Amino acid sequence: MVAALEAGIIILVSIALIQGFLRVGQEATAIFFILSAVALIIVHLTSFYFRWQMTPAYLVAAILLLVLIFGAQTGSIIKFASISIAVLLLPLSFALSIGFPVKTLPTPEGPHAVGVAELNRGYTPGNHIEGNSSEKRQLHLKIWYPATFDNQKKYARDTLWSDFHNSERFSRVERFFTAYLKNIETHSFKAAPIASDRAERSVLIYNHALLSTASDNTLLMEFLASHGYLIVSIRHEDQRYEYASLQENLSKEEQARDLENFKRLGADIDRKARATLSLQTYQASKTLPVIVRRRALDTEYVIDNLNSILNTIPGCMNRTCVNEHKLGLVGLSLGGAVATEFCKRDQRCQAAVNLDGGIFGTNIQAPVTIPYLMLYSELNEGGNDFLKEASGQTYEEHTIKGAMHLDFHDATFTLPALRWFRLLGQIGGEEMTHQKNELVLKFLNDNL
C-alpha cells in the first residue's frame, strides 16, 4: 500500500513536470495532475508514519504547484531554476523510497503463529562484575514464542524493531529517521496465548551485537518461534554509556592499536593469517572482553529467573512451557562472543549459535564442549579457526557466500540501500534470510 501510494505520487508529479514545464500538453492538465499528486501526498502524510524519503517529492510538488498557479508573475530565470531543482529532487526521492522501503516481511514458514511479549528487568550483579559492583544492570527483554488463537484480529501486531522506537535511550535523531519502519508490521502478535500442543519447549537466549536492539534479528526470531522455539532476547540498556566509558579508559596508543587490528581484519587476507590476527585482536582488546563478560552475567541472570520472566506469556505459568534442560544460546556479532563465553562455563547451555562474531572474553582458546554452530560472512571466514581446532567435532561451521557482516542483521532485508555503500554484501536480502534461518533451524533441531 505504501509503495503503491509513493509510486503514484512520483508518477503524477513527473507527468505534471513534463506537461507544465516542458510544455508537453496543456497547462491546465498539468495543474490537474499536480493537484492529484497533492491529494495523494495528504493521504500519505495522514495515513502512515512520516516517510522522510518522500520529502524531495513533496518539495517538487510544492514548487510545481506554486509556479503553475503563479506562472504569469514568474520570470524565465525562476522557471528555469524550478525545473532544475525539480529534475534533481524527483529522482532522489525515487531512489530513497526504493532504497529504504516499507516492505512486507516474509511469513514464517513453521506451523505455528508467533506471539510476542516484552518486559524490563534490573539487577545488581555484586562482586561478580568488573567495575562498580553496586551499579544496577538494566535489561529490556523481548520474547517470541509459538502462539495459538482463533481470531488474529483480537491481537495487535508488533512493528519492526519496536523496542528501538520506544526507547528514549536511543537519540531522537535516530528514532526520527527510523520511525517510518513503524509502517512495517511483523508477523508477531502481542500477548497472544502460547500454543498448547506441546508441554515443554526448547528455550533460546539471544544476545544482540555491540550496539543494537533486542529485535535486530526479528526475521530469525519469528522463524524459530513458528517452528516451536521460545526465544528470550536481551537488550542491554546502558550499552552505549558502557562502551564509551570503557573506551575512555584506554590510552591513545591502545585505541590506535585496536583500530589498526580491525582495519587489517577488514582487508583481504588468507584464512590462516586471519585466524592468527583474529586471536591477537581478541587477546589484545581491553574493552570488548569486559562487555562480553558482563553480558554473560546478564544472560545468567535471565536464565536464573526464567520462571518469573516467562510468566509474562499468556498460558505459560511457572515455567511449564519450556524444558530447562533444552537451552540454547544465539548471538549476533559480539553477541556470538557472549553465547560462546556463557556456554564455556555454564553446563546448562546445550547448544550455541554464533552469527559472524569474534571470540572476545575469558579463556579465549578454551574449547566449546557442546554443539556449536559458527556462521561466517565471506570476509570473516576462518577468523575463529583456533576455537575450531580446540573443539573438534562439536564445532560446525558454514560460510554464506556473498554475505557481509551486516547481512546477519534484519538490515539485509529491510535496508537494501546499504548495499549502495557496501555495508551489505551481494547476496539478496531474501536469499540471505532464507539461508541463515534454515541453517540455524537445522542445527537447533539436530541438537535441541
Tell whether 122 and 58 lie within a shared domain: no
Tell whether 94 and 122 lie within a shared domain: no
Q: Give the whole-angstrom CA distance, residue 355 versus residue 220.
A: 11
Segments forming the whole domain that contains residue 84: 2-99
- Residue 106 falls inside a structural domain: no
Tell whether 224 and 348 lie within a shared domain: yes
pLDDT at site 127 = 61
pLDDT digits (tens, 9 = 90+) for 328-381: 999 999 999 999 999 999 999 999 999 999 999 998 999 999 999 999 999 999
**DSSP states along 363-381:** STTSPP-S-EEEEE-TTTT
- Residue 104 falls inside a structural domain: no
pLDDT digits (tens, 9 = 90+) for 335-348: 999 999 999 999 99
How confident is the model over 184-196, as a mean pLDDT? 95
pLDDT at site 253 = 92
Tell whether 64 and 148 lie within a shared domain: no
- Residue 414 falls inside a structural domain: yes
Higher pLDDT, 189 or 81: 189
pLDDT at site 29 = 79
- Residue 332 falls inside a structural domain: yes
* Cell numbers that stand for 273 in this block: 593469517
Query: Last residue of a domain, which of 64, 99, 134?
Result: 99
CB atoms within 10 A of CB 155: 19
pLDDT at site 166 = 80
- Residue 37 falls inside a structural domain: yes
Tell whether 329 and 358 lie within a shared domain: yes
- Residue 186 falls inside a structural domain: yes
Across the chain, mean pLDDT equals 91
Tell whether 54 and 134 lie within a shared domain: no
Place of cell 502478535: 189
pLDDT at 320 over 90: no
pLDDT digits (tens, 9 = 90+) for 4-53: 999 999 999 888 888 766 654 566 777 888 899 999 999 999 999 999 99
* Cell numbers that stand for 381 in this block: 571466514
Q: What is the CATH number of the domain that holds 214?
A: 3.40.50.1820
Higher pLDDT, 222 or 323: 222
pLDDT at site 71 = 61
Tell whether 219 and 85 lie within a shared domain: no
pLDDT at site 130 = 62
pLDDT at site 195 = 92
pLDDT digits (tens, 9 = 90+) for 59-78: 999 888 887 777 655 556 66
Please report, rounded to a whole number, the percentage of residues in the chain having pLDDT higher than 90: 75
Tell whether 277 and 351 lie within a shared domain: yes
Q: Give the whole-angstrom CA distance, residue 232 versus residue 23.
A: 61
The model's pTM: 0.93
- Residues contacting 303, CB < 8 A, separation 6+: 205, 327, 346, 348
Query: Last residue of a domain, which of 67, 99, 131?
Result: 99
pLDDT digits (tens, 9 = 90+) for 234-280: 999 999 999 999 999 999 999 999 999 999 998 889 999 999 999 99
How confident is the model over 142-151, as a mean pLDDT? 93
pLDDT digits (tens, 9 = 90+) for 420-443: 999 999 999 999 999 999 999 999
- Residue 434 falls inside a structural domain: yes
pLDDT digits (tens, 9 = 90+) for 393-421: 999 999 999 999 999 999 999 999 999 99
The total of structural domains in the chain comes to 2
Tell whether 262 and 340 lie within a shared domain: yes
Tell whether 51 and 150 lie within a shared domain: no
Q: Give the whole-angstrom CA distance, residue 9 versus residue 93.
A: 10
Tell whether 282 and 186 lie within a shared domain: yes
- Residue 398 falls inside a structural domain: yes
pLDDT at site 132 = 52
Tell whether 270 and 343 lie within a shared domain: yes
Higher pLDDT, 318 or 83: 83
3 state SS of 230? strand
Query: Last residue of a domain, which of 99, 126, 148?
Result: 99
